């Protein structure tokens, strides 16, 4: 699987390491809780450092400003024994490595998922980072790779990404991984960065509308007044029409 991924994503040979990392390395370097250590021990078969992309290995400039200090992009492959507590395991990995991580998780059934998480400098202590909420794809069945998921993997081919600096290449990877949610919604995804940007903006609006619909449904359940219930019902219908319209706009961009 690891060799296949390196070849499929065309990771530059100078940046490839593909070596196993002892679990104890995470225990000593990361501030993991007792339950997180137990998850690493019982649920992870192996951890592998696929690649370290830095200026030396890729000629991509580092990026540094008041919010970010990206000198390396680290690719980690995790082979699972079980997918129990997968979100907690993913969060623990992003938390344990100060550099931005492209995390690829492999299941015992031959599926993979991708995860990214931007890391901003702690305003009070520049030696520490604040980990953003990870983006996580659904499981991808590689043996049944269809045209849509081929689009996603093709977009992640290294030579197709932004080489302006290490922040831009990581942001490019991060945004393409977000497109997997579009596949789940409309069955396809954009193939160029401009359409991707617009589609993800619409996706963000869509998520906001769905939360509003959930809240309206919640308010309606507790309402006894018929007139108020009908008013809430009409508001739900309007929001649902907006959601449908947003989905149509996404399809047009793909």
Q: Per-residue confidence at 145, pLDDT binned at 50, 70, 90?
A: low
> Does pLDDT of 29 surpass 70?
no
Q: Where are the domains of the chain?
A: 2-184, 193-253
pLDDT of residue 143: 65
H or E stretch covering 29? helix 23-29
H or E stretch covering 212? helix 193-221
> Does pLDDT of 18 surpass 70?
yes
> Does pLDDT of 224 surpass 90?
no
Can you give the pTM of this predicted structure? 0.89
Q: Residue written as tokens 């508001």? A: 235
Which is higher by pLDDT, 8 or 35? 8
């Amino acid at each position: 699987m690891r060799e296949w991924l390196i070849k499929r994503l065309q990771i530059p040979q100078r940046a490839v390491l593909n070596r196993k990392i002892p679990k104890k390395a995470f225990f000593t370097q990361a501030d993991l809780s007792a339950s997180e250590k137990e998850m690493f021990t019982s649920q992870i078969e192996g951890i592998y450092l696929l690649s370290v992309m830095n200026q030396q290995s890729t000629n991509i400039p580092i990026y540094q400003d008041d919010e970010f200090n990206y000198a390396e992009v680290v690719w980690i492959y995790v082979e699972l024994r079980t997918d129990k507590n997968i979100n907690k395991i993913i969060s623990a990995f992003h938390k344990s490595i100060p550099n931005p991580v492209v995390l690829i998780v492999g299941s015992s059934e031959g599926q993979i998922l991708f995860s990214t998480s931007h890391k901003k400098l702690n305003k009070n202590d520049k030696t520490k980072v604040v980990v953003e909420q990870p983006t996580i794809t659904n499981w991808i069945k590689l043996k049944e790779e269809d045209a849509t998921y081929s689009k996603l993997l093709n977009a992640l081919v290294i030579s197709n990404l932004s080489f302006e600096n290490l922040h831009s290449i990581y942001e490019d990877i991060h945004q393409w991984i977000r497109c997997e949610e579009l596949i789940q919604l409309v069955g396809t995804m954009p193939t160029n960065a401009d359409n991707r940007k617009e589609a993800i903006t619409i996706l963000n609006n869509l998520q906001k509308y769905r939360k509003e619909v959930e809240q309206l449904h919640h308010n309606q359940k507790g309402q006894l007044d018929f007139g108020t219930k009908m008013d809430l019902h009409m508001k739900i219908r309007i929001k649902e029409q907006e959601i449908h319209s947003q989905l149509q706009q996404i399809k047009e961009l793909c």
